């Protein structure tokens, strides 16, 4: 037996034992609610109204980094979309329309009464916009964290399409890496913090919890499913052309990626021009839309400049006093 195969066997055994131990020790902080044959995890903190509902980015679990701070100013609920965190995998297509249906069932079954301020980060911006379109009577405002706009996404430049397919292929290797325990090993070696040093400013227990989710194959499988259906989600949300005078705060980062040795191959300038066009269109979604600049942040605003997300939520709370 070669050293390579011995390493893989040891790593896989370690990963399996560690997963069993963690699953026994760490119970979900919220409740698991059946939404039609599978369960979604919902976690709420704080008091007050309106309730802030957070929908994460593609593959992200951003709300866990900020829930304690938001809970200081009002009630806040985060949920793990199907396939992420403590939620079960859904047999249904991972597109915005299905996600919005699941979220509405979840909130009704959990008796989380409207009105809501919906916070959608990146891909989550699709979902909260579609929710506001389907259930306008339940929504008092939206926060879009470096949101997407479907018109630009549907005519994505060739260079960015290649980047999308590159990421999709990466998910395949990540699923394999999660099965073998390699991603867990990288996490324990603090490679995540090496790639994203800003993670070090959060409590260790929060960062450990979020990293733990990335060790699971279902996490990467769900990311691939959502990205694979990104075009369909864009077509679905294209029905949301005008949200009237709904208060919206759109948060724009300084750049999509901060240049580093880990992304030197990416067409950052092209991505940023593309993103600028999306933000210009987002400002036209409502007659009551304003933009906040996250001047020190990459696309990962919740990690780089979380105080801007808090500011956006507070702006909407003040408007609804």
Residue-level pLDDT at 25: 44
Of 27, 52, 61, 28, which Cα lies nearest the Cα of 320? Answer: 52
**Residue 77 has which token pair?**
């609920």
Domain count of the fold of the chain: 1
Mean residue pLDDT across the chain: 88
Residue-level pLDDT at 319: 82
| pLDDT(245) > 80 | yes
Parallel, antiparallel, or unpaired: how do β-strands 31-34 and 39-45 relate? Answer: antiparallel
Which residues are within 8 A (CB) of 196 and not within 5 positions of it... i.e. 6 or more apart?
A: 300, 303
Dihedral Cα 88, 90, 96, 101, nearest 10 deg: -90
3 state SS of 128: helix
pLDDT tens for each residue of 6-46: 555 555 555 555 554 555 446 899 999 999 999 999 999 99
- The distance from CA 261 to its chain's CA centroid, rounded to whole angstroms, is 24
Residue-level pLDDT at 69: 95
pLDDT tens for each residue of 66-122: 999 999 999 999 999 999 999 999 999 999 999 999 999 999 999 999 999 999 999
Compute the average pLDDT of residues 132-146.
Answer: 96
Compute the average pLDDT of residues 225-250.
Answer: 93
Residue-level pLDDT at 159: 65
CB burial of 120-156 (b: ≥16 within 10 Å; e: otherwise) equals: bbbbbbbbbbbbbbebeebbbbbbbbbbbbbebbeeb
Distance CA 288, CA 307 (A): 22
pLDDT tens for each residue of 180-191: 888 988 898 999
Residue-level pLDDT at 261: 64
Please give the residue range of the domain that contains residue 57: 3-319
Residue-level pLDDT at 11: 54
pLDDT tens for each residue of 251-307: 999 988 777 666 666 667 778 888 899 999 999 999 999 999 999 998 889 999 999
Residue-level pLDDT at 24: 46
Helix 158-180 vs helix 268-282: crossing angle, to nearest 10: 100
CATH number of 289's domain: 3.40.50.1820
The helix or strand, by DSSP H or E, that contains position 253, with its residue range, turns out to be: strand 248-253
* Position with higher pLDDT, 258 vs 200: 200
Check: CB of residue 321 under 8 Å from CB of residue 313.
no
pTM, rounded to two decimals? 0.89
Of 58, 65, 12, which Cα lies nearest the Cα of 305? Answer: 65
Residue-level pLDDT at 214: 92
Tokens 């600028």 correspond to what residue? 276
């Amino acid at each position: 037996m070669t050293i390579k195969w011995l390493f893989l066997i040891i790593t896989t055994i370690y990963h399996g034992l560690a997963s069993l131990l963690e699953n026994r020790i760490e119970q979900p902080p919220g409740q698991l609610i059946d939404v039609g044959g599978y369960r979604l995890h919902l976690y709420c903190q704080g008091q007050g109204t309106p309730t802030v509902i957070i929908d994460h980015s593609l593959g992200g679990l951003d709300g866990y980094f900020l829930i304690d701070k938001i809970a200081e100013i009002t009630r806040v609920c985060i949920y793990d979309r199907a396939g992420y965190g403590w939620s079960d995998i859904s047999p249904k297509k991972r597109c915005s329309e299905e996600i919005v249906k699941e979220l509405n069932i979840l909130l009704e079954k959990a008796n989380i009464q409207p009105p809501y301020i919906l916070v959608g980060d990146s891909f989550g911006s699709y979902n909260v916009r579609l929710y506001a379109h389907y259930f306008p009577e339940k929504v008092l405002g939206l926060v879009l964290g470096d949101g997407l706009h479907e018109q630009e996404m549907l005519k994505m430049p060739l260079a960015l399409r290649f980047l999308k397919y590159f990421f999709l292929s990466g998910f395949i290797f990540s699923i394999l890496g999660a099965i073998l325990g390699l991603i867990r090993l990288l996490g324990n070696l603090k490679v995540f913090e090496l790639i994203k040093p800003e993670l070090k400013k959060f409590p260790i227990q929060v960062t450990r919890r979020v990293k733990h989710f990335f060790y699971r194959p279902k996490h990467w499988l769900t990311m691939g499913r959502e990205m694979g259906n990104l075009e369909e989600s864009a077509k679905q949300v294209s029905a949301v052309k005008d949200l009237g005078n709904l208060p919206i705060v759109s948060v724009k980062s300084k750049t999509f990626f901060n240049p580093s040795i880990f992304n030197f191959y990416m067409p950052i300038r092209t991505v940023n021009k593309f993103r600028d066009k999306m933000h210009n269109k987002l400002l036209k979604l409502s007659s009551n839309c304003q933009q906040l600049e996250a001047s020190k942040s990459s696309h990962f605003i919740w990690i780089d400049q979380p105080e801007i997300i808090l500011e956006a939520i507070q702006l909407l709370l003040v408007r609804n006093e």
